[in-house]
Structure 1
């Protein structure tokens, strides 16, 4: 399936970056990179332009996910990662995520429930954007959940980045 996402590169996980310092075993971590056509954008603009435009099928899957996992104690609610405001600062909600750290080059957002802690970093480096996910799995249910959704995560993460590139948003 990599031929569908040939412009998106899976990257080795760096040691010592901010997300690495948040990792607590057992955890899942990945990192994807894509070239920018608009290198003047800051990290918050990149996050917005990537995740504000989820395909309808992704929103449908998130709705199904919420109905299935609500009884297991997972946080459910908003399925988007769209902020409520144009001006980003620490503490604002970007959909189901809360902005934890922000600079021109990187936004780190997160969400937590009793089964796992989820973090996403959108980082701008010169002419590329790197999107990295970290999921700390707190319980065996969290571990089962992460393993069950990995194939969906693989496709969804690459699709939303690819769509942003094709539409010229990033």
Structure 2
């Protein structure tokens, strides 16, 4: 099911690595590029703008639960009508923080954690990286609780984009 993706156990020294703080979670997934004309922003849109309905339902449930604990909640996905985003633009619950010719970095922050996602392109691959700086004990507990879901959902969403021919 996930054969197109190879997981990076230790993400490389990229722009997102510079944002890591002492208590953090970091991972990266790599998939080969088929559409070499897409920008990082267009690639992010092609991957995350089309969430399967079961993931959207899980995110809605998550939002209801974590709102009670003081987590910031917003949209349940990265949906945006623009395929080419600029710094400051919203893509669902994240904001574009940095944009380069080969990478787009988005993030969301609340009192418990700071979440980042990067979509970086190299000659042959798409690298989707996640970084979460955990600020509180509750933030640490939350990240540990959702990791099994994160591992499955990230792979499903990226492979879905590949199967649909969007990336």
Alignment root-mean-square deviation, CA: 1.0
Secondary structure of 2:45's aligned partner: helix
Secondary structure of 1:44's aligned partner: helix
Secondary structure of 2:11's aligned partner: coil
Deviation at 1:86, TM superposition (A): 4.0
* Cα deviation 1:43-89 (Å, max 9, x = unaligned): 00100000000000000000000010101110112011122434411
CA distance in 1, matches of 2:40, 2:82: 15
| Residue 6 (structure 1) aligned with residue 30 (structure 2) | no
Cα distance, 1:138–1:101 mapped onto 2, change above 3 Å: same
Deviates more, 1:49-58 or 1:33-42: 33-42
Deviation at 1:102, TM superposition (A): 0.8
User: How many pairs are equivalent?
Assistant: 166
CA distance in 2, matches of 1:9, 1:157: 12
Cα distance, 1:10–1:87 mapped onto 2, change above 3 Å: closer
Q: TM-score, normalised by structure 1?
A: 0.95
Task: Extract structure 1 runs of 4+ deviating beyond 2 A.
Answer: 83-87
Deviation at 1:153, TM superposition (A): 0.1
Listed as ranges, the gaps of 5+ residues in structure 2 are: none
Listed as ranges, the gaps of 5+ residues in structure 1 are: none
Alpha carbons 1:82, 1:94 under 8 Å: kept: yes
Corresponding residue to 1:51 among 48, 56, 69: 48
| Residue 145 (structure 1) aligned with residue 136 (structure 2) | no
